[in-house]
Amino acid sequence: MSLNDVIVAKLEQIVTGLERQREGLRAALVETNNAIRLRAARPVNVSSAGGRVLIWAGPGRLVGWSLRATTNDVTVDLRDSRDDAGDPIASVVIPTGQSRELWAGPGGVSFGEGLYLDATGAGVLTGSVWLGAVD
């Protein structure tokens, strides 16, 4: 066996090992819920009972929402931020007793700092926002 053949064989072993590691990392990094891999959007419950809400700290994708104003009108501002000073992503006005849904998937809208919900008005907001699963 020549030196070139030995080098090629070793490089093939390295590539195969790296492929195995890549597959292992991909399996480890998928998002799960109750040990089940998420392949679609993940709902995160929200409520305005506490006023302003940090829904998610860190980067992610907003792919939709289902929100309801249970009492009085509510205006919802979603921001790319960890507080109310961040860049606006969306603003939704929800009349009393009604709901608003939006599906923006599968890609959605990316945010980098976090997802912050600022609900204003005298009403109470309930529902969930849908975050894109880790690919």
7 burial level (CB within 10 Å; 0-12, 13-18, 19+) = exposed
C-alpha span between 133 and 66 (Å, rounded): 17
Could you please state the CATH topology (level 3) that the domain comprising 40-131 is classified under. Answer: Jelly Rolls (2.60.120)
Q: Which amino acid is at 97?
A: G
Torsion of CA 90, 96, 98, 104, to 10 degrees: 0
SS3 80: strand
Instruction: Identify the DSSP state of 57.
Output: E
Domain boundaries of the chain, sorted by first residue: 3-30, 40-131
pLDDT in tens, the chain (135 residues): 788 888 988 888 888 888 887 776 665 555 555 666 656 688 888 887 765 588 999 999 999 999 999 888 999 999 999 988 889 999 999 999 999 999 997 889 999 999 999 888 888 889 999 998 765
C-alpha span between 101 and 97 (Å, rounded): 14
How much is the pTM?
A: 0.69
Is the backbone peptide bond immediately before 88 cis, with ω within 30 degrees of 0? no
C-alpha span between 98 and 117 (Å, rounded): 18
Q: Which of 105, 114, 111, 53 is nearest to 82 (CA)?
A: 114
